[in-house]
Amino acid sequence: MADQTYNPTWTRNPLGSYNEQEAFIAMNGGTGAYIMEDEWNEMQWILGAQRAKALSKLFASGFLTKGADSVANGTITLAPRDAFVNGHQVRMEGKSANSGNVLVPLPAGPASGTRSDLVYLTVSFVTVNYQSTIYKWGYQGGDALTNDLYDNRVGNETQRRVQKQWNIVVAQGQSTMAGAGFTVTTYDSRLYTATNNAAVDGLTYAIPLYIANRTAGSPDTLTDYANYLFSFANAGQAGGFATLGSTGTLPPGQLPAATSTTIGGVKPGTGLTVAGDGTLNATQYTLPNDVAKTDVANTWTQQQTFSVAPSFTASSGVPFAVTSNTMVSNLNANFLGGYSSTSYGRLGVASTWTAAQTFGGGIALPPPSGNNQSSNSFTFTSTSSTGTTNTVTVTLDPNGYLLWKNGGSSKFLIGANGTVQTAYNSLDNGTNGDAAFNHDVTVGNKLTAQSLVVGGVPVTPYNPLTSPNAWIG
């Protein structure tokens, strides 16, 4: 009788004979056929590896969220979050005693000067048995769960497990993943790997998180290693922000790189940065010199056409400047030299002058047109304090005489030589042909008159004083 003692061994490859290039998608069992351990292991990796491979083609590795992390007293406190590593979701949650926060102790700081320490996430796939520690969420520094892999019915374990284990590692004095011994993958620019013989696939996967800035005598600070928040696009594939159940605003992430034919997005470092809470910030961008800016003066080298009238809203100062003296056609302005249009006299309309006007070049009247004296005359009008209006019209008649009129009546005529002419027979007031002088009249040479009345008494006949005269009294 055969020995029925149950004593399994675990020396076969946990991946079985899995080979990605064979492109197997399932196992096909046969009636009465045995299922060997290599086939069982291979089947598990066919299913798991193909799923992870497909996801890694769509999604770049990164952190799905980023909490309010901090560093103090030589310890980094990381808030719980999720990460996406090589097609696998990783729940980054610490011990319950720390409210789920992950506490990462830093090595001693420098005694003098400064130093950079690289902080990164590592993920490995490790075989565990009934004697292994089963870590909660796979965190190697976290709480231990009950190991239930031992089956009392057979007095042994029946199957072993492969656990996804992760940790936060600090590389003292390093600022790059290459310095920490990792190499970037060819299919995911955010994912790094290093050899790990204890892992079932022989690799440790890593994503950088922070640079711890260490200065002797000063508090430590954290700087984002890069934008390693999760996004759809991987290795230049088209995509966009993952919704991840968020509402109202886009979740944190990195836009895919822009190409010469598509605008997929802009990576940080070209005007965009991602803050610690995942907020996308636009930094200052310098526009080309030929682009007009609203906050500086712009020089236009070509004529601009405005289909809508421009508005100058400055409350003080010169609204715009013109350096050319070329006339602007159809310019309609309400003020000229600071004065409104009502402050200037206009040709062809009556204008009221409220101050004395001095004409240095005289006043030129147009030549008369025949006997039409009104064609070359101008009128002075004044109003007395009692409201009486007085009008004096000065006319240059066809004979070249200057005629003064009060109202519509002729007063006297002055010839071109300045003498009073007799063309109108007398100095008259427009009523009876007599001229009345209420003030003194001074005659420089002689006064010629047909009759002269002084004080109401006619003076006639008369002779010059140089001739003998017959005096009546």
Distance, CA of 90 to CA of 93 (rounded, Å): 9
Q: Which of 266, 282, 298 is where one domain is finished? A: 282
Tens-digit pLDDT profile for residues 379-393: 767 777 777 777 777
Same domain, 54 and 131: no
Check: CB of residue 180 under 8 Å from CB of residue 118.
Answer: yes
Same domain, 93 and 185: yes
Q: Given this model, what pLDDT does residue 191 score?
A: 92
Same domain, 77 and 37: no
In 3D space, the residue among 141, 78, 140, 75 whose CA is nearest the CA of residue 108 turns out to be 75
Q: Within a domain: residue 272?
A: yes
In 3D space, the residue among 119, 51, 64, 61 whose CA is nearest the CA of residue 85 turns out to be 61
Same domain, 127 and 75: yes
Q: Within a domain: residue 353?
A: no
Q: Within a domain: residue 462?
A: no
Q: Which residue has the higher pLDDT, 323 or 230?
A: 323
Dihedral-angle region of residue 126 (phi above 0 means left; psi in -120 to 50 means alpha; beta otherwise): beta
Q: Within a domain: residue 337?
A: no
pLDDT of 221 above 90? yes
Q: Which residue has the higher pLDDT, 69 or 314?
A: 69
Q: Which residue has the higher pLDDT, 419 or 399?
A: 399
Residue 24 makes CB contacts below 8 A (sequence gap 6+) with 18, 42, 46
Same domain, 46 and 158: no
Which DSSP state fits 333? -
Does the predicted model carry a pTM greater than 0.85? Answer: no
Q: Please give the residue range of the domain that contains residue 395.
A: 375-444
Q: Which residue has the higher pLDDT, 139 or 278?
A: 139
Q: Given this model, what pLDDT does residue 23 score?
A: 85
Stretch among 100-104, 147-151, 333-337 having the lowest mean pLDDT: 333-337
Q: Given this model, what pLDDT does residue 439 score?
A: 45
**Confidence band, pLDDT 50/70/90 cuts, at residue 237:** very low
Instruction: Kindly report the length of the chain.
Output: 473
In 3D space, the residue among 353, 414, 409 whose CA is nearest the CA of residue 381 turns out to be 353
Both structure tokens of 404: 């003064």
Residue with tokens 């491979």: 53
Both structure tokens of 237: 């594939």
Tens-digit pLDDT profile for residues 249-306: 444 444 454 444 444 444 455 566 666 555 666 666 666 777 777 778 888 888 888 8
Same domain, 120 and 263: yes
Stretch among 19-28, 189-198, 254-263, 352-361 having the lowest mean pLDDT: 254-263
Q: Within a domain: residue 390?
A: yes
Q: Within a domain: residue 317?
A: no
Look at the chain and report how many structural domains it folds into: 3
Q: Which of 29, 58, 87 is where one domain is finished? A: 58
Q: Given this model, what pLDDT does residue 40 score?
A: 87
Both structure tokens of 99: 């409210």
Same domain, 45 and 162: no
Residue with tokens 């040709």: 347
Same domain, 68 and 35: no
Same domain, 108 and 174: yes
Same domain, 105 and 207: yes
Q: Within a domain: residue 332?
A: no
Distance, CA of 79 to CA of 382 (rounded, Å): 95
Q: Which of 11, 30, 58 is where one domain is finished? A: 58
Distance, CA of 396 to CA of 403 (rounded, Å): 6
Check: CB of residue 412 under 8 Å from CB of residue 437.
Answer: no
Check: CB of residue 204 under 8 Å from CB of residue 123.
Answer: yes
Beta strands in 148-264 (DSSP E): 150-151, 156-157, 161-171, 183-184, 192-195, 203-215, 221-224
Both structure tokens of 393: 């019209």
Same domain, 256 and 239: yes
Same domain, 49 and 160: no
